[in-house]
Structure 1
Amino acid sequence: MITVIGESLVDIISDPRRPQDVRAHPGGSPLNVAVGAARLGLATNLVTHYAADRYGLMIEGHLLANGVTVVRGGSAPTSTATATLNPDGAATYAFDIGWDINGASLPALAAVEGSEHVHTGSIAAVLAPGDQATLALVKAARRHATISYDPNCRPGISPDAPAARARAELFVAASDVVKASDEDLAWLYPDRTPEESAAAWLELGPAIVALTRGAEGPVVVSSGARVEMPGEAITVADTVGAGDSFMAALISGLAQLDALGAPARSRLRNITTDELRALAGYANRAAAVTCSRPGANPPASAELGSLTGSLTASEG
């Protein structure tokens, strides 16, 4: 069982290549991670907020159809993000969003206490008032669960880079696995390279830090290993949700390696180079599948195969 904590919203996608084709899809980085993890075979909770309005019903239907168990709090309208695609398929966002899970503190705590792994990040880690509840749940979970975090920075929502940097470092220090994009780290730390920032985050305490670099592919580091690989060769439909699919596959891959849960922390910290390479490749393929089709549409287990199968083949 894993629990994801964070925002649900509706992505309204406008594509200048098809100006008459405006689409609305359930989204939000944590929601996408929860759906991606569930599609990869993990029993998944999502602690989130949406209202009982038109967009909220769309979100709820999507989560239930993908087998995600919902813990819902807050009272504000359902959040939206308008994504405008560039000619190369990359998205820029405008947000109408709030983050609060008031009224759900007890079921949220029960969810994290019943989980081997807890993931959070994105808007949920920086936007008041729900950011404080998010951090408290993460700290409560560390006694029995491994933790993962993805800053998924949104300067349009939290434009104060020094404040966002300080907040991110709190979550990094509380985490076992961290994933960030090169754009995230370039914004948070403009005076050093993204890979230097990933190495600095590793020193704060995580066992694994993954740096995604779009088409250039990921760099994944641990205390004893570094793995770099190119992006998969695909025709890109758009990049919406690619990083979230990468994150979900990291969690699924670690589950397949029996490296989730507080008792597995030593296992996680002693991950081998071959295991790290298989993990990076598995997550890289998940992101590529998502990029090959429109919207945040992560792959299922049947599309990726098993990480342990890939690992056995590489060792043989």
Structure 2
Amino acid sequence: MSILVIGECVADIVRVPGSEDRVHPGGSPANVAYGLARLGREVTLLTQLADDAAGRLITDHLEGAGVRVEIGGVPARTPSAVVDLDAHGRATYAFDIAWTLEADGARPAPEPVHVHIGSIGAVTEPGAAAVLDLVEGLKGRTTVSYDPNVRPALMGDHAEAVARVERCVALSDLVKASDEDLAWLYPGEDPRAVAARWLGLGPAVVLITSGADGSLAVTRRATVAANAPAVSVVDTVGAGDSFMSAVLDVLAFRAAADLAGLGAEYLAGLLGTAAAAAAVTVSRAGAQPPDREELKAAREELAFVVTPVRGW
């Protein structure tokens, strides 16, 4: 049984003052697929890649971990992003990307047990229409997760962007968003209020990450907060994607009804495991998520504090 991830690949050109540029395979959906493969999951990535140096670098990277790469149209060049890191390892991005995924022939077999969408590929036309067409065709036969991974420079009109994001939320059983995503989408709103509103659109679980301030899991039954363990940060590239991969690994093959019934204790364990995966990733350069043994060791070694907010 396999997981299908749909979305962009991006060549991350990492730029640090005083150092030479480094090129890392990236793109949020691609990072999620890579993280799942590192954890031993069977995963297919439906994406777009050109036959150029960056495309070959990314393909080798993904296939080397065990990701099955399916191409839904070949762009003129592989998307790229200049990633500037500040003194704390926080990243900002400048993109050169087009997303033109083709719906015809873009229905991978066998049918997956779970579909993950997100970031640029879920909201950038014309390819986003193909993504949503695929998800809507599978809805009800598979569970769906979504990470908006907002890139303001690519989102266009704010009101239209919010509407596109909320359409993806409504199609999903589980949604993960960062506090920065929510601050751009809904300026000044309490993230917990946004999570509650999103639950009303359809998802069973909403997860909110807040970097060093930890994470939050919200369902109709429970709300649980967890800290982020203290680690030495090299950079934050791919941390949220590693968190997402670990969440999907823990929840793999659960039905939508099961997600709705998750209790606070289970959510606490889920947040702890996902935070451990993110902690490993930020401790090294680029989007390099842990394998199964590294995640197990991090989960055992790192200190977590879980706070029952509601429903314990």
Please tell me the TM-score bracket, short chain as reference: over 0.9
- Paired with 2:108 and 2:6, the residues of 1 have a C-alpha distance of 13
Output aligned runs, 1:3-42, within 5 Å: 3-16=4-17, 19-42=18-41
- Which of 143, 157, 163 is residue 154 of structure 2 equivalent to? 157
Inter-CA distance 154–15: structure 2 relative to 1 (3 Å threshold): same
1:122-180 CA-partner distances (Å, limit 9, x unpaired): 00011111000001111111131100000000011113221111001001011000000
> TM-score by structure 1 length?
0.91
* SS of equivalent to 1:133: helix
Runs of 5+ consecutive residues of structure 2 not aligned to the other structure: 307-312
Output aligned runs, 1:152-191, within 5 Å: 152-191=149-188
Percent of aligned pairs with the same amino acid: 49
Query: CA-atom RMSD, angstroms?
Result: 1.9
- Give the letter for the 2:215 counterpart: P
* SS of equivalent to 2:154: coil
> TM-score by structure 2 length?
0.92
1:289 aligns with 2:276: no
- Paired with 1:274 and 1:59, the residues of 2 have a C-alpha distance of 38
CA contact (8 A) 1:278 1:307 kept: no
Equivalent in the alignment of 1:203 = 200
- Which of 229, 238, 244 is residue 232 of structure 1 equivalent to? 229
Equivalent in the alignment of 1:56 = 55
CA contact (8 A) 1:279 1:307 kept: no
- Paired with 2:289 and 2:245, the residues of 1 have a C-alpha distance of 9
- Give the letter for the 2:265 counterpart: D
Output aligned runs, 1:75-154, within 5 Å: 75-76=74-75, 77-102=77-102, 105-106=104-105, 108-111=106-109, 114-154=111-151
* SS of equivalent to 1:105: coil
Equivalent in the alignment of 1:2 = 3
* SS of equivalent to 1:50: coil
CA contact (8 A) 1:227 1:277 kept: yes
- Give the letter for the 2:164 counterpart: R
- Paired with 2:284 and 2:220, the residues of 1 have a C-alpha distance of 35
Shift of 1:306: 9.7
- Paired with 1:169 and 1:266, the residues of 2 have a C-alpha distance of 21
Runs of 5+ consecutive residues of structure 1 not aligned to the other structure: none
CA contact (8 A) 1:6 1:122 kept: yes
- Paired with 1:67 and 1:14, the residues of 2 have a C-alpha distance of 28
- Paired with 1:194 and 1:274, the residues of 2 have a C-alpha distance of 21
CA contact (8 A) 2:214 2:228 kept: yes
- Give the letter for the 1:37 counterpart: L
* SS of equivalent to 2:93: strand
Q: How many residues align?
A: 300
Which ranges of 4 or more aligned residues in structure 1 deviate by more than 3 Å? 306-310
